[in-house]
A and B are shown apart, each in its own frame.
Chain A
């Protein structure tokens, strides 16, 4: 990690790695130092993106093909970027985002390896922005699995 003036910070890692708790603590700590901070998350993070999130996460697991699912997630991310992330960054706000494109890259790379390139191409074409800094919360999943088991989003969270 060798970044200066990082304003767009994404948090990644397996379920139960504590990143959502850490996101809140980081927001509080930065605010205590005088920064304006926006905490957001994916999938979702804007009203339109939340609606798309519901489309993907509700209903039958085979409701969408893997290709359509990637398009929906990219559409949601585009809306989140336009409506939430970029306006905040332009206002000088530090943006902390709980999951971003790296979750999609990893998840799709594992479930449909042949679609990983599609994820990257769509990202370049429609999002065109990486985080300034990405924190990976690394831990043995055995330690983190229990609290999250059975939550509705486990099925296809990204």
Chain B
């Protein structure tokens, strides 16, 4: 899958998230693994 397709996929996921904010949480994954993991756990713990 080429870069252009990946960029379009990214936009597609963000559009879906915008359309159903009650279900989605967008996490900035372009950071250190630990920082992302902290955010993920915080979002999930709030929802559990």
Number of residues from A at the complex interface, CB < 8 A: 49
A94-109 CB mask vs B (1 if < 8 Å, else 0) is 1000000010011101
Name the segment of A42-50, A54-62, A71-79, A140-148 touching the other chain: A140-148
Q: Which residues of B contact A26 (CB under 8 A)?
A: 37, 40-41, 44
Choose from A4, A21, A22 the contact partner of B47 (Cβ within 8 Å).
Answer: A4
Interface size bucket, B side? 20 to 34
The answer to whether A110 touches B44, judged by C-beta atoms less than 8 angstroms apart, is no
Mask: chain A, 127-158; 1 = CB below 8 Å from B; 0 = not: 00011111111111111110000000011010
How many A-B pairs have beta carbons closer than 8 Å: the answer is 133
Asked if A2 is at the interface of the complex by the 8 Å CB criterion, the answer is: yes
A15 at the interface (CB under 8 A from B): yes
Q: Given A3-B23, A29-B41, check contact A133 B47 (CB 8 Å).
A: yes
